[in-house]
Amino acid sequence: MNTKIEKLLRDGEGLTVEFKRCHDKISPTVYETVCSFSNRYGGDILLGVLDDGTVEGIAPEAVRQIKKDFSNSLNNPQIFNPTLNFQLEEVDYAGKVILYCHIPLTSQLVTLKNRVYDRNEDGDYDVTANTDTLGLIAMRKRGLSSVEKIYRYTKEADLLLGELMPAVRNMSSIRIKDHPWQRMSDMEILKSAGLYRYDQDLGYSGFTLAAILLFGREEVIRSVLPGYVTDCILRRDDLDRYDDRLRVSCNLIEAYDKIMGFIAKHTLDRFYLEGALSVSPRDQIARELTGNILSHREFTSTIPAKVIIERDRIVTENWCLPKLPGKLDPATFTPQPKNPLIANFFVNIHYADMLGSGVRNLYKYTKIYTNGGEPELIEGDMFRTIVPLSLTGASENRETSDKVSDKRKTSDKTSDKMSDNVSDKMSDKSARDKLLAYLRGNGEVTAAEAAAVIDRAASTARRILTELMAEGLVESRGANRNRKYRAK
């Protein structure tokens, strides 16, 4: 037990740890913490400890009464509803008495004298009048994802099925050549993916919020989720505001391409050989960041998701319902999808890999990209990912990387322009080879599907396809959005 106490004292107070002085009597604020821990993620309470972690201890003559008062209050229906049955445990620490209690997350909403308390990093807060927070607490306790909610009056006309389904079918064949979706109708695909379902409790069928987010027209998404937006910001020179900005509020399928394009536009790339194939570490990192921010966020929150590109790092932020608050350790991390419907759909169209592989890929390609650097993933109400962008390490294209580094010292403005050019040159060859090989083995693709194949922006895919056509290696048929490309 003392080993655990030492770790709690060393780590300090936070979302799931609270210290209380309580030298000779129990403080009323202890019960607020019990209520908030019960409603949040659970947590550990230490009595006899100051806020800074200094162990003052409990007066020996007061220990018995404090334990009795604690137990009686938790079992009093006029104080707690439902009543709770937790005990304070007496711990001898360095010759002083500490009282310890672990409070688990309960399956029911807990009230303290008819008030509801919730927890954040700063302490315990009365949220009785905050209907949004109460809704989030209910979802946490029921283990539900908000994207499973059925919108009874949403119609097929509210979705861009005709525009997006052809691309979805083709992208599904990237991983599985004879994917079942190739033979399904639009509605069969939606039903198989859980995007259109029957609710046994409510007694009706309908499109889920996940379907609206993936396929919805922008005005339909806005009517359901007025605060939905992903804010992409470049902040290199103007640190108070921004140097470039893109606000993305379209459906998730198209949003993925836009965010990937923004990251590619403002970051350098480098060569890397994975076996006999050339891959882009930068694009692999962007893929994991984009897939995560679109599939694992809590969409009912009005707080926008963010992608912030700075001089030496990329930071992403999105509101979520965390399962295990704190910094994620890849060695002990247990993946838990926040929105299984969207996550599974992304896996099927090659926007993401199987659950758990995303974190491993992010660590793998960040180390390659930075010659040893590691990302940070911090789970809380706001999920933050921090990826370093330093290009100072060795690579298979070290000479080109050194030249880029020298040029960047001359001018930040020149650096931004050069970033795009060098990025294209360094990864175009691998993208061309990969796309051409895919066309020769799989038939036709649209520009959007080609972008998914090479994990690049649609504009980049169109440029590469145009170059391949000019070289006589590829031909096209159709026009505009319906144009398809195939190998000659």
Does pLDDT of 130 surpass 60?
yes
Q: What average pLDDT does range 118-134 have in this prediction?
A: 87
**Strands 150-151 and 326-327: what pairing?**
unpaired
- Across the chain, mean pLDDT equals 84
Q: Which CATH class is domain 230-487?
A: alpha beta
Return the structure tokens found at 270: 């480098």
The 10s digit of each residue's pLDDT in 204-215 is 899 999 999 999
Q: What average pLDDT does range 271-300 have in this prediction?
A: 88
Q: What average pLDDT does range 32-41 have in this prediction?
A: 92
The domain limits of the chain are 2-139, 146-224, 230-487
Residue 1 has a pLDDT of 65
State the pTM of this model. Answer: 0.63
Q: What average pLDDT does range 454-482 have in this prediction?
A: 78
Residue 260 has a pLDDT of 94
| CATH 3.40.50.720 is right for the domain spanning 2-139 | no
How many residues are given for the chain?
488
Return the structure tokens found at 144: 């539900």
- Of 290-294, 361-365, 449-453, the range with the lowest mean pLDDT is 449-453
Residue 186 has a pLDDT of 95
Specify whether the CB–CB gap between 103 and 47 falls below 8 A.
no
Q: Is 460 helix (H, G, I), strand (E, B) or coil?
A: helix
Task: Find out whether the peptide bond into 82 is cis, omega within 30 degrees of 0.
Answer: yes
End-to-end CA distance of the chain: 70
Does pLDDT of 427 surpass 80?
no
- Count of Cβ atoms closer than 10 Å to residue 445 Cβ: 25
Residue 220 has a pLDDT of 96
Q: Is 19 helix (H, G, I), strand (E, B) or coil?
A: strand
Q: What average pLDDT does range 255-277 have in this prediction?
A: 89
Residue 396 has a pLDDT of 37
The 10s digit of each residue's pLDDT in 338-370 is 788 898 899 889 898 766 678 888 999 999 999
Q: What average pLDDT does range 251-272 have in this prediction?
A: 92
The string over 63-73, giving b where at least 16 C-beta atoms fall within 10 Å of a residue's C-beta and e elsewhere, is beebbeebeeb
Distance CA 54, CA 62 (A): 19
Specify whether the CB–CB gap between 385 and 396 falls below 8 A.
no
pLDDT band at residue 122 under the 50/70/90 scheme: low
